[in-house]
Amino acid sequence: MTISEPLPGEVARRLLRAADRAALATRLAKRDDPALEAWPYASLVLLACDHDAAPLLLMSDLSEHARNIAGDPRLSLLIDGTAGRVDPLTGPRVSLLGTAEKTDDARLKARFVARHPSASLYADFGDFNLYRVSVARAHFVAGFGRIHWIEANEIGFNAAGAAALAAAEDSLTARMNGQGGLADALARGTAGRTGTGWRITGVDPEGIDLRRKGSVARAEFSMPVMDEAGAESAALALRNQADGRTKR
């Protein structure tokens, strides 16, 4: 049986979902100094994703990048997956082109704060807003000579049928974290991460997000799930797989 290679959009989406930060490029807002007007501006931002893989950003209105987006919502996000490589240029990275829009969706804010617990200290401040990024295109570099332009529908995930999973995510995450050792097993078995104290921060149709202090990990499902039962079954299969490897 021939196993087909994953499409570039699928690989880029996995990289995006696994990331907890990105380099954000915006266009400097109009200001008193004409020499700076429209100059490119890069900054570091924390990152989370919606169930369809749309990037989520939490930013203060006082920040330069939020002021820039208020003037021009177009942006680029660089997701860097090259850490640990002797030659970083052989590793994967993806540049997303899209537009940012403020959202007051409580589910999305909860998803971001679960991904970044420290954000709970300021997420409800009046000058902080959550932004959802609509991706238009992406430029994916998987290594030397492996370069692809990817359309929005190729890097995004159609989560229209997963509304039930999104609605149940908080209770499902809490229940999974109550299953002793599940998060540790997922981090060890699918992401090769050692140590204890891992916690599940989110569950989407394609996998499970994990965090331990300043580290994050991602457990990918073998196929998409659309509801609680499917997610629990997929998590159990991953745990059994991880336990089987440990016993060898």
DSSP string, 210-243: EEETTEEEEEE-SS---SHHHHHHHHHHHHHHHH
- The CATH architecture to which 8-157 belongs is Roll (2.30)
102-123 pLDDT per residue, tens: 999 999 999 999 999 999 999 9
Does the domain at 164-247 match CATH 3.70.10.10? Answer given as: no
Residue 248 has pLDDT above 60, yes or no: no
213-222 pLDDT per residue, tens: 999 999 999 9
Q: Taking the model in full, what pTM does it have?
A: 0.94
- CB distance 57 to 68 below 8 Å: no
For the chain, which residues make up each domain, given as ranges? 8-157, 164-247
Give me the pLDDT at residue 1, please: 46
- CB distance 98 to 135 below 8 Å: yes
Give me the pLDDT at residue 245, please: 59
Residue 191 has pLDDT above 90, yes or no: no
